[in-house]
Structure 1
Amino acid sequence: MRIYGFGEYGDAQVQEHLDRPDPVPGPGQLLVEMTAAGVNPADIKVRSGLRKDNVEVVFPMAMGREAAGVVQSVGAGVVGFVPGQRVFGQTVSGTGGLAELVLLDAASSAVVPDGVEDAQATCIPVSVGTAHDALDQLELVPGETLLVTGAGGGVGTATCQLARLRGLRVVALASAAKAELVASLGATHVESGDGWPERVRAIAPEGVAAVFDLVGAPVLADALTLVTDPARVISIATPAAAKEAGGSGVERRRTTEVFAHLAGLIAAGDLSPVVSATYPFEQAADAVAAVETGHAAGKVVVVRAPRLVVHRRSDHQRMPWRNGGGITSEVTRSPADGEDFDWRVSFAEVDAGGPFSSFAGVDRIIVVVDGPGFALSVDGVEHALRLHEPFTFSGDSDTTAEIGGPTVDLNVMTRRGRCAATMEVVHLVDGEPVSLPAEADLLVAVLDGTVSLSSAGETVSAERLDVVAASAASLILAGAGTVAVIGLSVR
């Protein structure tokens, strides 16, 4: 796999893309194909060696401490997470998020709800989570005034929104360039720079009930003159200075419960992480540079499209894809702990005579064939199968079916539960590309011809009896031939 990281402490010159072995999840860990990863000011401090006393680094290590993506596999003892799920969370100690494959701590991860983008979800572990924990720690009541210094960044913009949901009045110290942004989040903007304490006093003559400092000294020193109780001062920029004055740092609670709650707020439309810029994984250096200026508004996120993987006809062994399937005579995904579904994919060339496969206890079967002479028997009743036309039937725990024929048989079976399967057949004419906006994990099976598939700038070629595993992203098909597009999703 590729990572964007560093092999020694230093400035931006030590950062680079590196090839590293694919990681293997240990107990309590998730292996995730990264689709989004946040970049935070603290990541630069880690790279520079300023956090070496409290952040484990294993050289060479990817930068970043939070990521979102799709689960590939889980380590021993993990419950509640299964391959194919969209998740987000905190990276395992000694590893980073700017990598094609990342290790997440299952205890500090959660499922991405429907309606939430991965780029939004990856903002939760560091920025949004920090804001949430600080507000809980301050124990303010509706109507009280909170001063947030450095309010235009990732943590600050999240704090403004979460504080508003709690009925607090927020005074947001930020540059003039970010005035419109913080005001749109329900805060009262105060321009940073010389004389800012007087500007705060003009709008809050009684002082403020609490301070959440995201800048550090000397801004923190001025902020302390505005608060009525120094014990209600929290700083993540210079926590030692806050403690000396009677305040504290933030006590983080990086749990599945907390992260799921915050993701729920996003799904409900009550919270919208401010993502000011996204950079493709290949331009991770530019993302880090944007954060290192210290002037980025909201959050900077690195994104990547999961890889297109071609499974060739000559591959006889099981070939993994996002949900664990591939081209074998029969591939089964069985329920794991916490699941209530099962599915099976079959794609093979078969000889005449005898049934190719038999199924029992399935609620839905979708079949498409490429060649004459196929027979489908459901509970002893014969059904006609037309060339390249998907045939679907539903059953129950007592349903049995047999499919047989002389050439190619492609089918998808799902047991009762939350797994949804769809299929469509696309006929390609050379020179006329077809776009497929995917809402699920995809298998694109080439029934005949030669086809190219493109997604997020990556293009692969597949021929008859090849299968391409794709992720939830738009695909462009081109070439000449017939393909079956199977969509599998967990509901």
Structure 2
Amino acid sequence: MKGIQLTGHGGPDKLVFRDDIPAPTPGPRDVLIKVSAAGVNNTDINTRIGWYSKTDGDRSDASWSGEGLHFPRIQGADACGKVLAVGAQSDPRLLHKRVLIEPCLQEADGKALDRPWYFGSECDGGFAEYTVVAARHAHAIDSALSDVELASFPCSYSTAENMLTRSSVSASDVVLITGASGGVGSAAIQLAKARGARVIAVTSPSKAEALLALGADRTLDRNDDLAQALGKDSVDVVIDLVAGPPWPSLLDVLKPFGRYAVAGAIGGPMVTLDVRTLYLKDLSLFGCTVLGETVFSNLVRRIEAGDIKPLVAQTFRLDQIRDAQTQFETKAHIGKLVITIDTAR
């Protein structure tokens, strides 16, 4: 089959297009999927460059699970496609269904995982013509949206839905979202508004109007002094994708008993915490990686109901993966970049 193999940690040159990759074979509890489209994510770049590693040199922990990757690896956490075959122990009703793949995997190779994997990291993902996944992670979807539009949802929107679920966002909450123009941030705006919350989005001035049109009630410049702009103790929930040096200000604007959820650190992973702020304000901090049991199925229902909409900024062919990841790193877009597998050369 055709696909993109990541041959090692490093730059875009480590992504190699091939047309002679053996197609995967589903096990008894798996399904075989013909992939039609797959979204590009920050985790693709992080995995390629070894960003998840906390050790110097060997990058033996450079994955979501904290273990080393095995190369070559087919990346692609977001995937939409059609089920071509089901294993003997899999639900036969999935056969020929259009599906979205839940990217946070609790099962692989017929076994429950002690520590979850991420699709396209610990196992091969969606940047290829065919892929295999445990049947429990292939969610049939009934929607008028195109495969490209559907491929914009899984990783970013499930991450956002998980953060909002963990931090118990409701209609009574004021929610501050950092990195709001990215895939997860723009998803969080929509999903928070679907819950009836008031949303304040932190972004660049050039993207402010687009986020207001998406549903944000207010935008702030990423260089603004948050405490001055909002006042201390003014926000119920912070949804953070940025971290970095300004991080203490996020806790300053949280109300007593406020909730902070994080699933990214594009501004830098090291922050300064005054523990007195944490305990004197009775704050709750949530690290969000593993999806809750009902998060992805709830997301599928919201897509089917039309509660949220896809944001596709640009599409690329499979053999243009290096261009897609390079474009992604410019952060000039709002929403998702999507690879169209069917048009692979």
Residue 284 (1) aligns with residue 321 (2): yes
- Aligned twin of 2:47: 46
Distance 1:254 1:16, change over 3 A: farther
1:222 and 2:249 aligned: yes
Q: Contact between 1:113 and 1:264, CA under 8 Å: does it hold in 2?
A: no
Task: Tell me if 1:59 matches 2:60.
Answer: no
- Show CA shifts across 1:352-410 (max 9, x none): xxxxxxxxxxxxxxxxxxxxxxxxxxxxxxxxxxxxxxxxxxxxxxxxxxxxxxxxxxx
Task: Say whether residues 1:271 and 2:308 are aligned partners.
Answer: yes
Q: SS of the counterpart of 1:285?
A: helix
SS at match of 2:126: coil
Q: Which residue of 2 aligns with 1:197?
A: 226
Contact 1:157–1:298 (CA<8 Å) still a contact in 2? yes
Return 234-243 or 155-164, whichever deviates more: 234-243
Aligned partners of 1:68 and 1:87 also within 8 Å: yes
Q: Which residues of 2 match residues 135-284 of structure 1 at below 5 A? A: 135-198=164-227, 200-201=229-230, 207-229=234-256, 232-238=259-265, 247-253=285-291, 258-284=295-321
Gaps of 5+ in 2: 53-61, 104-118, 279-283
Q: Is structure 2 residue 314 aligned with structure 1 residue 304?
A: no
Q: Which whole-Å CA distance do the structure 2 matches of 1:3 and 1:254 have between them?
A: 30
Partners of 2:86 and 2:8 lie apart in 1 by: 30
Instruction: Tell me: CA distance 1:80–1:180, structure 2 relative to 1, closer, same or farther (3 Å).
Output: farther
Structure 1: gaps spanning 5 or more residues: 306-455, 459-491
SS of corresponding position for 2:5: strand
1:121 maps to a residue whose letter is L
How far has the Cα of 1:130 moved from its partner? Answer: 0.9
* Cα distance between partner residues in 2 of 1:194 and 1:241: 17
- 1:9-158 correspondence runs (5 A): 9-18=9-18, 19-51=20-52, 52-55=62-65, 57-79=69-91, 81-89=93-101, 90=103, 91=119, 93-158=122-187
Residue identity matched to 1:278: T
How much does 1:186 deviate?
1.5
TM-score (norm 1): 0.57
Q: Which moved more, 1:119-128 or 1:149-158?
A: 119-128
Q: Which amino acid aligns with 1:153?
A: G
Q: Calculate the aligned-residue CA RMSD, in Å.
A: 2.6
2:228, 2:145 → 1: CA distance?
38
Change in Cα spacing, 1:457 to 1:130, as seen in structure 2 (3 Å) is closer
Post-superposition offset of 1:138: 0.9
State how far apart, in whole Å, the 2-side matches of 1:159 and 1:261 are: 14
Deviation at 1:129, TM superposition (A): 0.7
Which residue type is aligned with residue 139 of structure 2? A
Q: Distance in 1 between matches of 2:131 and 2:77?
A: 10
Residue identity over aligned pairs, in percent, reads: 30
8 Å CA contact 1:231–1:248 kept in 2: the answer is no
Q: Deviations over 1:26-61 (max 9, x none)?
A: 243221111111111011111112231534633111
Structure 1 residue identity aligned to 2:254: V
Alignment match, 1:396: none
Contact 2:166 2:286 in 1 (8 A): no
Q: Which has the higher contact order (CA 8 A, sep 6+)?
A: 2
TM-score normalised by L of structure 2:
0.80
1:11–1:229 distance in 2 versus 1, CA, 3 Å: farther
Cα distance in 1 between the residues matched to 2:22 and 2:229: 53
Gap change, CA 1:69 and 1:6, over 3 Å in 2 = same
Distance 1:457 1:20 in 2: 14
- TM-fit CA distance, 1:123: 3.0
**CA 75–42 in structure 1, closer or farther in 2 if over 3 Å, else same:** same
The number of residues matched between the two structures is 305
Partner of 2:59: none
Contact 2:317 2:344 in 1 (8 A): no
Cα distance in 2 for partners of 1:43, 1:208 equals: 32
**CA separation in 1, counterparts of 2:132 and 2:272?**
33
Matching residue's letter, 1:228: K
**Match of 1:335?**
none
Please tell me whether the aligned partners of residues 112 and 118 of structure 1 are also in contact (alpha carbons under 8 angstroms): no
Whether contact under 8 Å (1:4, 1:98) holds in the other structure is: yes
Question: Could you say which structure has the higher helix fraction?
Answer: 2
Q: 1:266 to 1:54 in 2, by over 3 A?
A: closer
Larger mean Cα displacement after TM superposition, 171-180 or 205-214: 205-214
**Range 168-177 or range 47-56, more displaced:** 47-56
Amino acid at match of 2:330: T
- Give the residue type in structure 2 aligned to 1:299: K
